Amino acid sequence: MDNSNSQNAVAMSKYMKNNFVFFGIKTEERRRIFKTIWTENQKEVSTSTREIASLLFSKKERELHYCAVEIVMKNLKNNYIKEDILLIEKLVITNSWWDTVDVIAKFILGDYLLQFPLETDAVIARFSNSENMWLNRTAILFQLGYKEKTNFDLLKFICEKHKTSTEFFIQKAIGWALREYAKTNPEAVKDFVSKSSLKKLSEKEALKNL
């Protein structure tokens, strides 16, 4: 690719624990290039968002995964269909790492379940019961942007369910989700943490700003 930068690519891959290959295009430049391509192919992207996102996610270069996530976020917001949960799950479990999973959890699954609230219990039960750690993390984090709309009983239930996990990404997610809700209801979070015997990392993250 003409815009690739091998020096950047090495550094970016190293930052991601060498889990992915990169072109070496930094975020601002990638978005500029992608915006041009998107504009030139707007009709096709609009009518084939799901197929294009899946195709991009199947590629090895990480920047293409980021583009896939952004296509779904922008094109499907408020326009999801119920069957899109299958696409969302596929994006979570394919080429999984925190940099894509966290965005999918908050901005894609979170928006999807605001559009289809009656699907919440079934989806979150399935994700939180999965043996896939990234689906578990997604279930913990999907309410990050909900603020006063947060179902705190559901959040507490999921945190309790996973609180004994020794997985760093789960402990961190529990703390992050609670810390975010603490901006809306700090006393409720402090009370929950005081009674829940969370792992030290989860507790520390949850109470960081309190």
Please state the pTM of the whole predicted model.
0.95
Model pLDDT for residues 14-62, shown as the tens digit of each residue: 999 999 999 999 999 999 999 999 999 999 999 999 999 999 999 999 9
Using alpha carbons, list the distances in angstroms from residue 23 to 18, 31, 103, 133: 13, 13, 21, 27
* Distance separating alpha carbons of residues 52 and 56, to the nearest angstrom: 6
Domain boundaries, the chain: 1-76
pLDDT of 104 higher than 70: yes
pLDDT of 1 higher than 70: no
- CATH 1.20.1660.10 given to domain 1-76: yes
- Give, as one character, the DSSP assignment of residue 104: I
Of 30, 4, 20, nearest in space to 12 by CA = 20
Of 87, 66, 71, nearest in space to 20 by CA = 66
- Residue 3's pLDDT is 82
